[in-house]
Structure 1
Amino acid sequence: MERCKKTGRVLPTYSLGELHSRFLDNEIFLSIYNNWVNEGYKYYDKPSIDRIDNAEGYTMDNIQVLTWQDNRQKGDIENSHVTTQVVQSSMDGLRLAVFPSIKEAVKATGCHQGLISACCLGQRNQTGGYKWHYGNYKRK
């Protein structure tokens, strides 16, 4: 719901009960859910609601159930077409590194992806003891 508000997408018009009715008898959901339970509630196996068409909102005819890992991989593939360079600087402004994307900065520094993004968007001053901003280069 919060993400819909942030992105300006239409909020779902169905109730939680209607969502339960849609998926509790769904073979795919039950298979994913039972596997998640049988595997000891591993985070990556958890059922996740996904939009079929990411340009549209979470309407009843635009949602499907995937594992959390499958949903994440789908997002990585769909969002991998354009990345923006990220610059890491010391607190006194000395440029330390330039990364082709936030994802690469996360791998190299261990800093949290969302916090690096918040710095680049001007919502935070620093994270991980570094300042961050977007570079000028975009890669396809």
Structure 2
Amino acid sequence: MLYKEIHIGKFIKERVLELEMSMERVCSFLKKEEEAVEKIYESKSIDTDLLLRCSKLLEYDFFRIYSSHLILYSPPSAVDKNKNPKSDKIPYFRKNIYTQEIKDFIIEKIQSGEMTHSEIIQEYSIPKSTLHRWLQKI
């Protein structure tokens, strides 16, 4: 799976097809007409409330696609952590938690010869020891 370019509508449609879910069921759960559901399938991005409902209906965490993108493609933080204290009003998550999908994506890049170890480390800011630990478990 390529996390750099995300077209969420295609992922939703693919999941509906995987589950062989009827259009009537999708329309009923989302409370949308068939034309609106087709527009969702064609949309590169959708409202988060709608994405949450799609995630529940299709039993798939579509938000994880965006989280994976952040892990792989966001630049390292240059913010001084002492100047920007964490607020209790919004939840904070550690960036360095890699999902199995991320690990598989990275390992596939290496195994296919698409990227070298050093290119992975440089491109995605994954620590060398972490990458080697993943590769030892193969």
**TM-score computed with the length of structure 1 as normaliser:** 0.28
The structure with the largest helix share of the pair is 2
**TM-score computed with the length of structure 2 as normaliser:** 0.29
The structure with the largest strand share of the pair is 1
Q: Whose RCO is larger (CA < 8 A, sep 6+)? A: 2
